[in-house]
């Protein structure tokens, strides 16, 4: 097939907020214990953090990590996780049917963030608790000293405030599975009061209102409208969550789901702007897509109830999942003007790009690579590539373009990146990129992942699914031509210098 992309500096969607390359660590399964924290591990540092994992997190270049949940946060007492470790209580975690030892908590996570070169997006419990505990936590983490909560932090050995800037007002509060689930109106009131008091405690923070737990949630749309109407003046972002799975072996529809994702984002933006118009407000609410990924492989996994760090949600990702993750991230970037934060859920072991053996090694899952490429090369501004390519119908979708693409332009470094997924199972695409006012830019790298069976996975012993470099594409009179292999992930980098 033939495909054409036209690019120009004027096709700007928006500045890319680096937080769009965020991720997520929840007290869930082996994300914390056996994942980022394992004091007895041979690579553990003096704080018990696995340095083999930290090194991979740095490769992913993740600027922000959401913590501590997730469903977990809706039953969490943050006070359980601070102070002398020997005095911290063990608790039943009703969200995941596990025992939480609390040997890792807020200060340990903040320290880990520093070592992993990332920042924390902190969630507060608005399920079993409320505004009071939330504002106390802000005082504990962010106030310089001289008050009960800030002095408690100092007494725990942390003299300087952590300065956490971004806060989630609970998690998926529309879901029946959530501890302390609420109606939209109940949640709107709780979130408003919490956000207000948290911001009175520290005027520099931003807050995220929980949107629906997914586009399929029964109250989707109405939930956002009602809760935002109530909390509008105090919050900065609305959250979106979405996971996809290939439940019926229909690969083409699995990959086409980004059309649905596109519509989901568009609808939430419409709701935000409807409330803005209704209120005659000058303030714009942007989006925090703080949970997204493929999640379905591990759905039937069994585990021992009430054990510590049971191995749950341990999806082992295959090649087609990597293409879906790449396509999802491309879709998020196409809304870089309004999506300011996004979190690949999650980061280690639990539906994650990084997978460890407790007491053993670590490996990069297939989905590691598209995320790594976009996070490292996809900085600056997002450009809307005008794509001309054939379309196809799948069992669930019609008019699905074979090529999914986004371009990013880093003006400071005079660097342009083009990311493409070829969704055709069996056909290569000869791609022409019309470089318009990027004439003079030369390709310096062409990376792809292709040629694998769609079910191929990586393991501790064999990283068989990984990117490879290609010969550089030709450029003739401002037209770059590259071959995109069937069913492939592709990254083309061009520099002026």
Cα 99 to Cα 456: distance, rounded to the nearest angstrom: 34
Q: Minimal CB distance to ligand AHR: which residue?
A: 70
Q: Does 345 bind ligand AHR (CB under 6 A)?
A: yes
Binding positions for ligand AHR, 176-215, rule CB under 6 A: 213
Q: Does 93 bind ligand AHR (CB under 6 A)?
A: no
Q: Which of 26, 38, 139, 172 is flagged as catalytic?
A: 172
Nearer to ligand AHR, 195 or 293 (CB): 293
DSSP symbols for 273-331: HHHHHHTT-S---EEEEEEEEE--TTTT----TT-SS---S-PPPBHHHHHHHHHHHHH
Q: Does 172 bind ligand AHR (CB under 6 A)?
A: yes
Q: Does 71 bind ligand AHR (CB under 6 A)?
A: yes
Indicate if 172 belongs to the active site.
yes
Q: Does 26 bind ligand AHR (CB under 6 A)?
A: yes
Q: How many CA atoms lie within 13 A of 264 on its CB side?
A: 27
Q: Does 31 bind ligand AHR (CB under 6 A)?
A: no
Cα 43 to Cα 57: distance, rounded to the nearest angstrom: 15
User: Minimal distance in Å, beta carbon 352 to ligand AHR?
Assistant: 10
Cα 141 to Cα 204: distance, rounded to the nearest angstrom: 13
Nearer to ligand AHR, 353 or 401 (CB): 353
User: Minimal distance in Å, beta carbon 295 to ligand AHR?
Assistant: 7
Cα 205 to Cα 213: distance, rounded to the nearest angstrom: 24
Cα 16 to Cα 410: distance, rounded to the nearest angstrom: 10
Which stretch in 47-55, 64-72, 321-329, 483-491 sits in contact with ligand AHR by CB under 6 A?
Answer: 64-72
Q: Does 70 bind ligand AHR (CB under 6 A)?
A: yes
Q: Which of 79, 119, 291, 372 is flagged as catalytic?
A: 291
CA–CA distances in Å: residue 264 to residues 177, 332, 406: 22, 11, 18
Indicate if 427 belongs to the active site.
no
Contact in structure between 241 and 202 (CB atoms under 8 Å) = no
Which stretch in 15-23, 63-71, 198-206, 426-434 sits in contact with ligand AHR by CB under 6 A?
Answer: 63-71
Nearer to ligand AHR, 171 or 375 (CB): 171
Binding positions for ligand AHR, 261-300, rule CB under 6 A: 291
Contact in structure between 61 and 376 (CB atoms under 8 Å) = yes
Cα 342 to Cα 220: distance, rounded to the nearest angstrom: 19
User: Minimal distance in Å, beta carbon 291 to ligand AHR?
Assistant: 5
CA–CA distances in Å: residue 225 to residues 16, 220, 238: 26, 9, 11
Nearer to ligand AHR, 346 or 366 (CB): 346
Cα 200 to Cα 188: distance, rounded to the nearest angstrom: 18
User: Minimal distance in Å, beta carbon 388 to ligand AHR?
Assistant: 37
Residues in touch with ligand AHR (CB under 6 A): 26, 69-71, 171-172, 213, 291, 345-346
Q: Which residues are catalytic?
A: 172, 291
């Amino acid at each position: 097939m033939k495909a054409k992309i036209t690019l120009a500096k004027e096709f700007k969607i928006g500045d890319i907020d680096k937080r769009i390359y965020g991720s997520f660590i929840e007290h869930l399964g082996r994300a914390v214990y056996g994942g980022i924290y394992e004091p007895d591990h041979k690579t553990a540092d003096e704080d018990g953090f696995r340095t083999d994992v930290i090194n991979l997190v740095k490769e992913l270049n993740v600027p922000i990590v959401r913590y501590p949940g997730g469903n977990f946060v809706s039953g969490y007492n943050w006070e359980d996780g601070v102070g002398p470790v020997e005095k911290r209580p063990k608790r039943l975690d009703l969200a995941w049917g596990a025992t939480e030892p609390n040997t890792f908590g807020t200060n340990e996570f903040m320290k880990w963030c520093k070592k992993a070169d990332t920042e924390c997006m902190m969630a507060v419990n608005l399920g079993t608790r409320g505004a009071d505990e939330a504002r106390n936590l802000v005082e504990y983490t962010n106030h310089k000293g001289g008050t009960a909560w800030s002095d408690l932090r100092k007494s725990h050995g942390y003299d300087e405030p952590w300065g956490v800037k971004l806060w989630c007002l609970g998690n998926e509060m529309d879901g029946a599975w959530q501890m302390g689930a609420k109606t939209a109106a109940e949640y709107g009131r709780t979130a408003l009061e919490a956000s207000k008091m948290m911001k009175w405690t520290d005027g520099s923070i931003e807050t995220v209102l929980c949107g629906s737990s997914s586009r399929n949630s029964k109250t989707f749309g109405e939930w956002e409208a009602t809760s935002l109407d109530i909390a509008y003046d105090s919050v900065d972002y609305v959250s979106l969550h979405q996971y996809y799975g290939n439940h019926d072996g229909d690969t083409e529809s699995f990959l086409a789901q980004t059309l649905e994702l596109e519509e989901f984002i568009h609808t939430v933006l419409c709701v935000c702007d409807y409330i803005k118009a209704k209120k005659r407000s000058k303030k714009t609410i942007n989006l925090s897509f703080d949970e997204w990924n493929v999640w379905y492989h591990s759905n039937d996994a069994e585990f021992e109830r009430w054990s510590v760090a049971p191995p749950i949600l341990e999806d082992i990702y295959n090649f087609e999942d990597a293409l879906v993750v790449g396509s999802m991230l491309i879709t998020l970037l196409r809304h870089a003007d309004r999506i300011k934060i996004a979190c690949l859920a999650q980061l280690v072991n639990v539906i994650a790009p990084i997978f460890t053996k407790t007491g053993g090694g670590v490996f990069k899952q297939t989905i590691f690579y598209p995320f790594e490429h976009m996070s490292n090369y996809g900085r600056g501004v997002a450009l809307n590539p005008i794509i001309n390519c054939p379309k196809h119908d799948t069992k669930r979708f019609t008019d699905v373009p074979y090529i999914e693409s986004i371009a990013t332009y880093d003006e400071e470094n005079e660097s342009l990146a083009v990311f493409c997924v070829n969704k055709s199972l069996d056909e290569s695409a000869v791609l022409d990129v019309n470089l318009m006012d990027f004439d003079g830019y030369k390709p310096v790298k062409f990376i792809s992942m292709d040629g694998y069976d769609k079910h191929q996975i990586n393991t501790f012993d064999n990283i068989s699914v990984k990117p490879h470099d290609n010969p550089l594409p030709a450029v003739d009179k401002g037209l770059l031509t590259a071959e995109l292999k069937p069913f492939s992930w592709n990254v083309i980098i061009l520099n002026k210098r």
